[in-house]
């Protein structure tokens, strides 16, 4: 595939959407064809799945049901949006991809969904495809949760289903992302999300330029 696929990962309130917007603008200024998208919800079908996953009572779905829905969303996202864009040479920036499923449904729930099960689902839905670069924004969960709740004050639809889980869940989640990054150092870069928006953006631009010559 001709385009580059960059994913942004991290816990709640780490600033992924802001950094994707800034990187999108930077790449457009460099003359690149860029697509910004997200999981779940990057397609029309995905938007319906997103409502099921991120809204409502935290206990309405168990970890296995969540994982299955995420991979349905992911397969549709790849087939309808990501793969066609990459084939055309477009850079694709995604707010979350499969690392989030491993971190949330395996680590967050402390092993209630096994890595082996998720790896099997990944092979079925995604195959051997993976991001060219994954930027993991790391932040103390308490800071991130405070940011998320503050942001939700201005949202008509409250997407707080995961935020409402206990702090231990989010601490496990953070550990999961760091372990995922350690296991895939060629693909993953961990950045301190407690830096200012501007400094973090400069760090990301430097990484992207060094990796792809943007």
Q: What tokens does 120 get?
A: 């099997």
Rounded to an integer, the average pLDDT of 7-14 is 95
Give how many domains the chain has, as a whole number.
1
Average pLDDT score, the chain? 93
Query: Whole-model pTM?
Result: 0.93
Question: In this predicted structure, what is the pLDDT of residue 58?
Answer: 79
CATH number of the structural domain spanning residue 159: 3.40.50.300
pLDDT reading at 143 higher than 90: yes
Q: What are phi and psi of 23, to 5 degrees?
A: -70, -40
CA distance 97 to 70: 9
Domain region containing 196: 5-212
pLDDT reading at 155 higher than 80: no
Residue in 1, 29, 44, 14 with CA at minimum distance from that of residue 205 = 29
Question: In this predicted structure, what is the pLDDT of residue 206?
Answer: 97
Rounded to an integer, the average pLDDT of 144-171 is 79
């Amino acid at each position: 595939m001709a385009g580059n696929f960059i994913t942004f990962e991290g816990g709640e309130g780490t600033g992924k959407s802001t950094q994707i917007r800034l990187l999108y603008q930077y790449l457009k200024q460099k003359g690149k064809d860029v697509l910004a998208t997200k999981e779940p919800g990057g397609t029309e079908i995905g938007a319906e799945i997103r409502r099921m996953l991120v809204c409502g009572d935290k206990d309405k779905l168990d970890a296995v049901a969540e994982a299955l829905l995420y991979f349905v969303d992911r397969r549709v996202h790849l087939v309808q949006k990501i793969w066609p864009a990459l084939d055309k040479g477009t850079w694709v920036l995604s707010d979350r991809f499969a690392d989030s499923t491993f971190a949330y449904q395996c680590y967050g729930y402390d092993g209630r969904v096994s890595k082996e099960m998720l790896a099997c689902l990944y092979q079925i839905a995604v195959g051997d495809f993976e991001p060219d670069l994954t930027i993991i924004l790391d932040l103390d969960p308490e800071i991130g949760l405070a940011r998320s709740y503050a942001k939700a004050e201005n949202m008509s639809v409250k997407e707080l289903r995961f935020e409402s889980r206990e702090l231990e869940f989010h601490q496990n989640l953070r550990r999961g992302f760091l372990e995922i990054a350690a296991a895939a150092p060629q693909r993953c870069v961990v950045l301190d999300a407690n830096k200012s928006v501007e400094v973090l953006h400069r760090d990301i631009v430097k990484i992207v330029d060094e990796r792809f010559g943007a």
